[in-house]
């Protein structure tokens, strides 16, 4: 993989630095030629990885990275295809695509950069924003309970579900490697609260599991579990 000279534009401390490094490391460790990797990016801060990752990249419309990736995989099944999304695009415009891709078990990887808010457009609440997090656009705290990506994955029949914290780059890389080699739709959620707009989010004390749970229904409501949470054999 060649060196990219463009300087990332993410804020200091942003978890996307960790995710981009982990994704690059996973591709290198699996010895996949960069020309055989396609990443379809959503609009948003994390979508700027298109400028710093030396693989085939497609900048898609808001919430539409999954159907783009599914189309690429359908046309070129020999390629490693990854969809990238933020919580804003995935859980609003892209929620229908997320659910249908799970039900079809599209053989792609989905990496969700969950920063708990619309970060690029200055702090509007997203469908993943916790109740206690305020907003630059409204005077009151968010009144709606956040949607859980893992819970949605469980109830719609996902066969590979992972959640990782931004603070563990080694775990992020290992989970992405597992997702790439999985034969089906693999979901990797990265918890990375926005350092600018989601500073009010409560810190969750994560518990890493040693092996995937056999009963994925036990994941519902457990926002503290991280690691490879469920994988259907």
Task: Between 189 and 7, name the one with better pLDDT.
Answer: 189
| pLDDT score at 9 | 84
Residue range 114-169, pLDDT digits in tens: 998 877 777 777 888 887 776 655 555 667 788 999 999 999 999 999 999 999 99
| pLDDT score at 203 | 82
pLDDT at 1 over 60: no
* Cα separations in angstroms, 1 against 56, 108, 206: 11, 21, 33
| Domain locations in the chain as residue ranges | 16-231
Q: Biggest alpha carbon distance in the chain?
A: 50
Residue range 2-57, pLDDT digits in tens: 555 678 889 999 999 999 999 999 999 999 999 999 999 999 889 989 988 999 99
| pLDDT score at 128 | 81
DSSP code of residue 162: E
Quote the CA–CA distance of 157 and 105 in Å, as a whole number: 9
Among 119, 101, 92, residue whose Cα is nearest residue 40: 101
Q: What fold does the segment set 16-231 form as a domain?
A: Rossmann fold (3.40.50)
What does the mean pLDDT of the chain come to?
91
| pLDDT score at 126 | 84
The arithmetic mean of pLDDT across residues 72-79, rounded, is 98
Asked whether 92 and 174 are in contact (CB, 8 A), the reply is: no
Quote the CA–CA distance of 227 and 233 in Å, as a whole number: 17
| pLDDT score at 141 | 61
Among 204, 211, 171, residue whose Cα is nearest residue 188: 171
The arithmetic mean of pLDDT across residues 215-227, rounded, is 96
DSSP code of residue 99: H
Residue 75: partners with Cβ closer than 8 Å, 6 or more residues away: none
C-alpha 77: how far from chain center: 22
C-alpha 130: how far from chain center: 17
| pLDDT score at 118 | 79
Whole-number percent of the chain with pLDDT over 90: 73
């Amino acid at each position: 993989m060649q060196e990219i000279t463009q300087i990332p534009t993410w804020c200091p401390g942003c978890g996307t630095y960790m995710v981009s490094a982990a994704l690059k490391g996973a591709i290198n460790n699996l010895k996949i030629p960069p020309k055989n990797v396609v990443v379809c990016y959503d609009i948003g801060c994390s979508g700027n990885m298109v400028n710093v990752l030396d693989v085939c990249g497609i900048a898609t419309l808001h919430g539409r990275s999954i159907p783009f990736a599914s189309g690429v995989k359908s046309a070129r099944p020999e390629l490693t295809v990854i969809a990238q999304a933020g919580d804003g695009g995935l859980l609003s415009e892209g929620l229908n695509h997320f659910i249908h891709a799970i039900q079809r078990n599209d053989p792609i990887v989905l990496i969700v950069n969950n920063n708990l808010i619309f970060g690029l457009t200055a702090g509007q609440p997203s469908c993943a924003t916790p109740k206690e997090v305020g907003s630059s656009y409204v005077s009151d705290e968010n009144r709606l309970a956040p949607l859980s990506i893992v819970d949605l994955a469980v109830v719609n029949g996902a066969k590979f579900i992972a959640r990782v914290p931004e603070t563990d780059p080694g775990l992020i890389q290992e989970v992405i490697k597992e997702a790439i080699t999985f034969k089906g739709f693999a979901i990797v959620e990265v918890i990375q609260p926005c350092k600018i707009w989601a500073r009010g989010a409560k810190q969750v004390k994560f518990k890493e599991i040693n092996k995937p749970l056999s009963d994925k229904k036990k994941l519902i409501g457990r926002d503290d579990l991280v690691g490879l949470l469920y994988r259907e054999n």
